[in-house]
């Protein structure tokens, strides 16, 4: 047998791994590996495969698979299908009761192999996702229970209070919670308000902490679907199989023994589903999602029938689409289908003029939450905040203020001293880096709104020229190559007077 096995490894692999050590690796893998020869006789069967099937390798090795697994037929055995066709078979999910009577769910892939003598075989690679499957069911039922408890709570407390009205649909924000007067931000807000009036998909693009979730909830709550559920699902955090059965549901069927359970699409019926970090969704699942969007129907994993669903889809991503295409993480067809309306949220460093407003907003919030009466921040801290680049955007600002509220003692204002060391350090070391930048640095591939970006550059150039001319407008105008009147006009425009 060893001889035969040695021959299914490439010469390179054999050389690299050394005498027989590759075999130990295969035997130690968490994935189940099952290799048969052309007569469907098992020539390799590792411990993981045995664990899943409830068998010991010696019960399987050197025997025909039909002898060991009596329920297998020529037609339903994927190893046989691959032997016959010479083609790979991918089976998304399979649930079965093993020889020990345990119910196991696996994801399998069967690939053809050619031994060096030219004879053919097949290899099945299986991943045990039984625990993941159970987790999916637990998450799903917890989500349902949580949602119905919330509804009960809301109807018990009455619906006079705005917040509690929204709690019943799983959200806590409306457009009114979005703070910002910056031009670029206002423009996106207006687009979002318009989007709320339509039923098209919306793609919200923005760096972390720019308010994507707030915009999504705002759109849902201002839409005709507001009374229906809002369900958000992060696409990055979960393995593909779990996400697939969470999104589309699972059906107790011939293959999947998992409990019959509707997916999030069905649960969000009549409402909105938010797919967070869509560019992290498994590439194949993106194709399945595209079909659901195009046809308005879902089919549960392991199910036969398609069910119509009326769900509005919102999606978010935190990198520019071109980057996601280049990285191969986002299907272009899905992107075009999702971005019927596309909202691009500006990072905080491109709307620094909103920092004072946001500070007021968070002071109001935390004064009430901490039962304090702090007046604001010191002038020194404000200067630093206006210069800082805010990689974590509004969330970072909010956390910084919350930190300050926790650490400030007698003072009425939060200063650099009331911030933890790591925050103090990043705010104290800004000086030159930021003042030398004429405009906020851009992410690779990021395209800002041209007018507002150029305005930032213009404003900084004017300030620099005025500083160098000691405030003399004629000289500053000369340096910039514009007339005094023109400079005067720009000073007014940018409130620099």
Ligand X SMILES: Nc1ncnc2c1ncn2[C@@H]1O[C@H](COP(=O)(O)OP(=O)(O)OP(=O)(O)O)[C@@H](O)[C@H]1O
Interface residues with ligand X (CB under 6 A)? 178-180, 206, 208-214, 318, 361, 394-395, 398
Closer CB to Mg ion, residue 301 or residue 314?
314
- Residue 428: C-alpha distances to residues 412, 422, 433, 438 (Å): 21, 10, 11, 20
Phi then psi for 423, rounded to 5 degrees? -75, -40
Residue 167 beta carbon to ligand X: minimum distance, rounded to whole angstroms? 16
CB of 179 to ligand X, least distance (A): 4
Contact criterion met (CB below 8 Å) for 33 and 49: yes
Residue 398 touches which of Mg ion, ligand X, none (Cβ within 5-8 Å per kind): ligand X
Residues that bind Mg ion (CB under 5 A): 212-213
* Backbone conformation region of residue 18, classed left if phi is above 0, alpha if psi is from -120 to 50, else beta: left
53 contact choice in Mg ion, ligand X, none (CB below 5 to 8 Å, kind-dependent): none
- Helix pair 355-370, 379-387: axis angle to 10 deg: 130
Positive or negative CA dihedral for 321, 323, 326, 328? negative
Alpha helix segments (H runs only) across 408-437:
421-428, 431-436
| C-alpha closest to that of 196 among 167, 173, 165 | 173
Q: How far is the CB of 189 from ligand X (least distance, A)?
A: 9
Instruction: Indicate which of Mg ion, ligand X, none lies near residue 394 (CB less than 5 to 8 Å, by partner kind).
Output: ligand X
State the nearest-atom distance from the C-beta of 338 to ligand X, in Å: 16
Q: How far is the CB of 247 from ligand X (least distance, A)?
A: 19
What residues contact residue 221 under an 8 Å CB cut-off, 6+ apart?
166, 169, 171, 173, 174, 175, 230
Could you tell me the smallest distance in angstroms from the CB atom of residue 173 to ligand X?
8
Shortest reach from residue 114's CB to Mg ion, in Å: 48
DSSP H helices in 61-113:
65-68, 78-85
| Contact partner, 178, from ligand X, Mg ion, none, Cβ < 5-8 Å per class | ligand X
Q: Which long-range contacts (CB under 8 A, 24 or more apart) does 134-141 make?
A: 135/242, 136/242, 136/245, 136/246, 136/250, 136/258, 137/250, 137/258, 137/259, 137/261, 139/246, 140/246, 140/261, 140/263, 141/261
Minimum distance from residue 100 beta carbon to Mg ion (Å): 43
In contact, 338 and 313? CB cutoff 8 Å? yes
Closest approach, Cβ 420 to ligand X, in A, equals: 19
214 contact choice in Mg ion, ligand X, none (CB below 5 to 8 Å, kind-dependent) = ligand X
CB-based contacts of 383, cutoff 8 Å, min separation 6: none
Which is closer to ligand X, CB of 110 or CB of 279?
279
Identity of the residue, 178 or 309, whose beta carbon is nearer to Mg ion in the bound complex: 178
34 vs 361, which CB is nearer to ligand X? 361
Name the residue with the smallest CB distance to Mg ion. Answer: 213
**In this structure, are residues 189 and 175 in contact, taking their beta carbons and an 8 Å threshold?**
yes
CB neighbour class for 25 (10 Å; exposed up to 12, middle 13-18, buried from 19): exposed
By a kind-dependent CB cut-off of 5 to 8 A, residue 247 interacts, out of ligand X, Mg ion, none, with: none
180 binds, among ligand X, Mg ion, none (CB under 5 to 8 A by kind): ligand X
Both tokens of residue 65? 């698979």
Beta bridge partners of 298: 307
Nearer to ligand X, 92 or 318 (CB): 318
Question: What, of ligand X, Mg ion, none, does residue 51 touch, CB below 5 to 8 Å by kind?
Answer: none
Nearer to ligand X, 50 or 209 (CB): 209
Q: How far is the CB of 213 from Mg ion (least distance, A)?
A: 4
Burial of 130 by CB count in 10 Å (0-12 exposed, 13-18 middle, 19+ buried)? Answer: middle
Partner residues linked to 261 by β-bridges: 250
In the complex, what is the shortest distance from the CB of residue 217 to ligand X, in angstroms, rounded to a whole number? Answer: 8
Q: Closest CB to ligand X among 69 and 173? A: 173
Which of the choices ligand X, Mg ion, none does residue 171 contact, using the CB cut-off of 5 to 8 A by kind?
A: none
CA geometry: angle at 382 spanning 379 and 387, to 5°?
130
In the complex with Mg ion, which residue's Cβ is closer, 241 or 277?
277
Nearest position to ligand X, beta carbon: 211
**Cβ distance 346 to 210 under 8 Å?**
yes
The closest of 413, 182, 117, 166 to 271, measured between CA atoms, is: 166
Among ligand X, Mg ion, none, the one that 210 touches (CB under a kind-dependent 5 to 8 A) is: ligand X
Contact by Cβ (8 Å): 34, 49: yes
C-beta of 106 vs 393, nearer to Mg ion: 393
Comparing CB distances to ligand X, the nearer of 209 and 302 is: 209
Q: Residue 46's binding partner, choosing from ligand X, Mg ion, none, with beta-carbon cut-off 5 to 8 A by kind?
A: none
For ligand X, the closer CB: 233 or 318: 318
């Amino acid at each position: 047998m060893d001889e035969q096995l040695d021959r299914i490894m490439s010469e390179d692999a054999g050389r690299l791994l050394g005498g027989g050590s590759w075999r130990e690796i295969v035997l130690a893998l968490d994935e189940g590996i099952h290799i048969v020869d052309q007569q469907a006789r098992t020539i390799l069967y590792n411990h993981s495969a045995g664990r899943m099937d409830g068998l010991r390798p010696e019960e399987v090795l050197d025997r025909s698979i039909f002898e060991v697994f009596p329920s297998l037929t020529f037609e339903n055995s994927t190893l046989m299908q691959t032997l016959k066709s010479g083609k790979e078979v991918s089976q998304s999910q399979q649930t079965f009761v093993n020889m020990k009577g345990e119910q196991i769910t696996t994801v399998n892939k069967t690939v053809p192999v050619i031994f060096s003598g030219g004879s053919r075989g097949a290899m099945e690679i299986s991943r045990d996702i039984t625990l993941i499957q159970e987790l999916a069911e637990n998450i799903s039922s917890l989500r349902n229970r949580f949602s119905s408890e919330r509804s009960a709570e809301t109807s018990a407390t009455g619906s006079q209070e705005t917040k509690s009205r929204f709690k019943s649909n799983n959200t806590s924000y409306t457009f009114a919670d979005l703070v910002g007067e910056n031009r670029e931000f206002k423009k996106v807000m207006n687009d979002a308000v318009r989007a709320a009036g339509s039923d098209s998909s919306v793609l919200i693009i923005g760096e972390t902490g720019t308010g994507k979730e707030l915009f999504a909830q705002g759109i849902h709550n201002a839409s005709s679907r507001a009374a229906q559920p809002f369900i958000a699902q992060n696409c990055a955090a979960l393995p593909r199989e779990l996400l697939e059965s969470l999104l589309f549901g699972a059906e107790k069927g011939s293959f999947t023994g998992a409990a019959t359970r509707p997916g999030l699409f069905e649960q969000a019926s009549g409402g909105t589903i938010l797919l967070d970090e869509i560019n992290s969704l498994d590439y194949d699942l993106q194709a399945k999602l595209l079909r659901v969007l195009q046809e308005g129907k879902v089919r549960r994993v392991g199910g036969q029938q398609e069910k119509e669903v009326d769900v509005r889809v919102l999606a978010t991503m935190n990198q520019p689409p071109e980057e996601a295409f280049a990285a191969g993480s986002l299907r272009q067809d899905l992107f075009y289908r999702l971005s019927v309306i596309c909202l691009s949220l500006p990072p905080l460093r491109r709307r620094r003029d909103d920092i004072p407003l946001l500070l007021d907003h968070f002071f109001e919030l935390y004064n009430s939450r901490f039962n304090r009466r702090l007046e604001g921040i010191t002038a020194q801290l404000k200067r630093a905040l206006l210069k800082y680049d805010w990689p974590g955007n509004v969330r970072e600002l909010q956390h910084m203020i919350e930190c300050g509220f926790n650490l400030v003692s007698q003072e009425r204002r939060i200063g650099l001293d009331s911030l933890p060391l790591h925050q103090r350090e990043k705010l104290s070391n800004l000086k030159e880096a930021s003042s030398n930048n004429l405009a906020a640095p851009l992410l690779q591939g990021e395209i800002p709104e041209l007018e507002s970006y150029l305005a930032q550059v213009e404003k900084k150039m004017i300030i620099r020229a005025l500083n160098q001319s000691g405030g003399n407008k004629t000289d500053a105008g000369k340096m910039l190559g514009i007339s005094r009147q023109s400079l005067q006009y720009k000073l007014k425009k940018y409130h620099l007077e």
